[in-house]
A and B are shown apart, each in its own frame.
Chain A
Amino acid sequence: MIPGVSLLEILTVATLMFFIGVYGFLTRKNLITVLMSLELILNGAAINFVAFNKYLYPGTPAGQFFALFLIAVAAAEVALAIAIVINLYRRIKSVDVENVNTLKH
């Protein structure tokens, strides 16, 4: 535990970070910025896992493993998303979510 810091304070920071990410996810129109907001959301969740592990269940490192696997999944997700963004840019010269509607017709 961090001396003098309660679990609630850490969870509050993680919650605010998560919802800042949600705000970005809802307002941004560029695919790359949507991806960056997604990273904020994932990191907020990972902080929660770590804080619960440290404060409530110190006998098992389960929360650390969740955070570790979350980082690995995020890395795979970003690699694929960047590939898709670059492919889209080659095809339609834009990475705006509003222009990506080829599948709609």
Chain B
Amino acid sequence: MEKIIFYILAVSILALSLLSVLSRRLLRSAVYLFGVLSAVAGFYFLIGYHFLGAVQLTVYAGGIVVLIIFSILLTHEIDHKMERPGWLRAGAAGALCLAGAAMVIQLLSANPWARVEAAERSDLDTLGVLLLTPGEGGYLLPFELISILLLAAIIGAVVIAKHHLGGSRENQENQPL
């Protein structure tokens, strides 16, 4: 049963990522991306990491995709069709990616993976305690760094998006927003 679900998820991840990369309509591309991110969340649920799956759904599928869709709606006509990439560019990029994927998969299948047997610790209690544990085995320092990074990103986004800070005069007079 799990095997079938995994294959359905794998096929939908790959098909939707291809569609998202190849589609000529921006909004459709974003919706396909939403499908990919939801399928990845489904994979996290399937593998048993429920917290991670929930975070993936709320932050990625719920937050990031909505931000991307908003920015598409703010900057493009809804029926805008993008031009296709030139054959040379598409061919070169495709060949490069195929060669890279073949090489990586070859390396992965040649590697003997050694499992370190141990009792599994991945429940929510362990995660929460480790996230706030300083020192050995704890993740308090990266946790605090991430919070500072998020604060910096919020301030940076506000400063960049606020257009009368640093915008040139003529631009502002032409388009009062």
Report yes or no: A68 in contact with B149, Cβ–Cβ below 8 A.
no
**Set of chain A residues within 8 Å of B131, measured between Cβ atoms:** 65
**Set of chain B residues within 8 Å of A19, measured between Cβ atoms:** 97-98, 100-101, 104
Report yes or no: A82 in contact with B43, Cβ–Cβ below 8 A.
no
Contact with A along B115-135 (1 / 0, CB 8 A): 111111110001100110000
Report yes or no: B82 in contact with A82, Cβ–Cβ below 8 A.
no
Q: Which of B17, B120, B158 has the most CB of A within 10 A?
A: B17
A103 at interface, CB cutoff 8 A: no
Q: How far is the CA of A80 from the CA of B126 in the complex (A)?
A: 32
Interface size on B, residues (CB 8 A): 90
Q: How far is the CA of A9 from the CA of B3 in the complex (A)?
A: 11
**Option from B26, B116, B126 in Cβ contact (under 8 Å) with A57:** B116
**Set of chain A residues within 8 Å of B90, measured between Cβ atoms:** 27
Enumerate A53-76 residues with CB–CB distance to B below 8 Å. Answer: 53-61, 64-65, 67-69, 71-76
B78 at interface, CB cutoff 8 A: no
Please judge, given known A-B contacts A21-B17, A56-B113, A74-B64, whether A2 and B142 are in contact too, CB under 8 Å. no
Report yes or no: B14 in contact with A86, Cβ–Cβ below 8 A.
no
Q: Which of A3, A60, A95 has the most CB of B within 10 A?
A: A60
Instruction: Give the interface of B toward A (CB within 8 A).
Output: 2-3, 6, 10, 13-14, 17-18, 20-21, 26, 29-30, 33, 36-37, 40, 43-44, 46-49, 51-52, 55-56, 59-60, 63-64, 67-68, 70-72, 74-76, 82-83, 85, 89-90, 92-94, 96-98, 100-101, 104-105, 108-109, 113-122, 126-127, 130-131, 137, 139, 142, 146, 149-150, 152-154, 156-158, 160-161, 163, 167-168, 171, 175, 177
Knowing that A23-B93, A23-B94, A64-B52 touch, tell me 6 more A-B residue pairs with CB under 8 angstroms: A13-B10, A35-B68, A43-B37, A60-B118, A78-B68, A79-B157
